Amino acid sequence: MARVLVTGGAGYIGSHTCRALRAAGHEPVVLDDLSSGHAAAVRGLPLAEGDVADPEVLASTFDRSGPFDAVVHFAARISVPESVSDPLGYYRANTAAALTLVEAAVARGVGAFVLSSTAAVYGHPREQPIGEDAPLAPTSPYGASKAMVERILADASRAHGLRYAALRYFNAAGADPAGDLGEEHDPETHLIPLALAAAAGRRPPLELFGTDYPTPDGTCVRDYVHVCDLARAHCLAVEALVAGEPGGVFNLGTGRGHSNREVLGVVEEIVGRPVPAVEAPRRPGDPPELVADPRRFRERFGWEPGLSELRTIVETAWRFARSRWADGGAAPGAPTGA
């Protein structure tokens, strides 16, 4: 049993990870400022409301709820285009805040740290699938802000013996099969929730960004990994690091790519209605293809992404979306109050 500080635990991947940690017998304590997370997503868990970048908030969380065996750090800003227009805000929220947290973890003798990282650290890699040893060449401040945190962890590991796992997610998607926990970004920018809402007639037609990529059907190819498989991966990483595994950097994906058109086809099958879509120009910064080589994490931690078939991802996301709409929740991307 590990006591785990989960920053950003009320967010999408964070809340699923808290649930997985609990199911495995651990004790997650959530630190979240609720700027984008939802308190309801962590109902029943200890929740400290505050900013992870604030040393006083961290000190009081460690004093009141520690000691912790591990820290899992999700709290961050996640929009690539927003990071281009507000780079300094991203370096503050993602890099400076993580530095403050790593300092606190080292000072308090926490031995294990799991970082929510991203495939965006690779930029536009030439070779697919992408192994962890591919060069780090982020093309956005978002990707750079996470690559810097990875470097901070590598150096803290060498100097202070902090064991860490930087988990580079490919495309996180899907929802808990129970239907009560899922993806609720505001504004929503991700393909699957937007396509589901468009098919349900709850949003205007989807804009399909770019149909002239050098891919089999001209649309971008991504490696979708189910959020519950990601949650389980964090749990395995915590357990291994606490037990003394040295850690490192790891891709979390399936090794299979799906084009945007293929995703829309599966959404149509599951919803039973066409996805109204209009072809639109490429979205700046989108690489044509991002597919993980996930072998390192699978082999080292015995991880099996068993829910990450695209159909299962879309089915669970659809179940969650319908339950939110039935509760009166707005469609993703709809103006507040719609």
Q: How far apart are CA 303 and CA 233, in angstroms?
A: 6
Q: Which of 70, 191, 231, 291 binds ligand UDP (CB under 6 A)?
A: 191
Q: Which stretch binds ligand UDP (CB under 6 A): 25-33, 69-77, 189-197, 225-233?
A: 189-197
Q: What is the 3-state secondary structure (H, E, C) of the chain?
A: CCEEEEECCCCHHHHHHHHHHHHCCCEEEEEECCCCCCHHHHCCCCEEECCCCCHHHHHHHHHHHCCCCEEEECCCCCCHHHHHHCHHHHHHHHHHHHHHHHHHHHHCCCCEEEEEEEHHHHCCCCCCCECCCCCCCCCCHHHHHHHHHHHHHHHHHHHHCCEEEEEEECEEECCCCCCCCCCCCCCCCCHHHHHHHHHCCCCCCEEEECCCCCCCCCCCEECEEEHHHHHHHHHHHHHHHHCCCCEEEEEECCCCCEEHHHHHHHHHHHHCCCCCEEEECCCCCCCCEECECCHHHHHHHCCCCCCCCHHHHHHHHHHHHHHHHHCCCCCCCCCCCC
| Residues with catalytic roles | 142
- Decide: is 168 part of the binding site for ligand UDP (CB under 6 A): no
Tokens of 246: 């040295």
Q: How far is the CB of 75 from ligand UDP (least distance, A)?
A: 18
CB of 70 to ligand UDP, least distance (A): 26
The CB-of-82 to ligand UDP minimum distance in angstroms stands at 12
Task: Name which position in 21, 53, 194, 199 contacts ligand UDP (CB under 6 A).
Answer: 194
Q: Applying CB under 6 A, does 222 fall inside the site for ligand UDP?
A: yes
Q: Which of 61, 140, 145, 260 binds ligand UDP (CB under 6 A)?
A: 260
Contact between 82 and ligand UDP per CB under 6 A: no
Q: How many residues bind ligand UDP (CB under 6 A)?
A: 14
Provide, rounded to whole angstroms, the least separation between the CB of residue 191 and ligand UDP.
4
Q: Which residues, including other chains, have CB under 8 Å from residue 178's CB and lie 6 or more apart?
A: none
> CA–CA separation, 12 vs 87, rounded Å?
23
Using the rule CB under 6 A, which residue among 51, 103, 207, 309 binds ligand UDP? 207
Does position 227 interact with ligand UDP (CB under 6 A)? The reply is no
Kindly state whether residue 95 participates in binding ligand UDP, applying the rule CB under 6 A: no
Site membership for ligand UDP, residue 203 (CB under 6 A): no
Using rule CB under 6 A, residue 286 touches ligand UDP: yes
Q: Which of 116, 117, 171, 308 binds ligand UDP (CB under 6 A)?
A: 171
Among the residue ranges 97-105, 144-152, 206-214, 308-316, the one whose residues contact ligand UDP (CB under 6 A): 206-214
Establish if 270 lies at the interface with ligand UDP (CB under 6 A): no
209 binds ligand UDP (CB under 6 A): yes
Of residues 36, 139, 189, 215, which one binds ligand UDP by CB under 6 A?
A: 189
Using CB under 6 A, list all residues that contact ligand UDP. 171, 189-191, 194, 206-209, 220, 222, 260, 283, 286
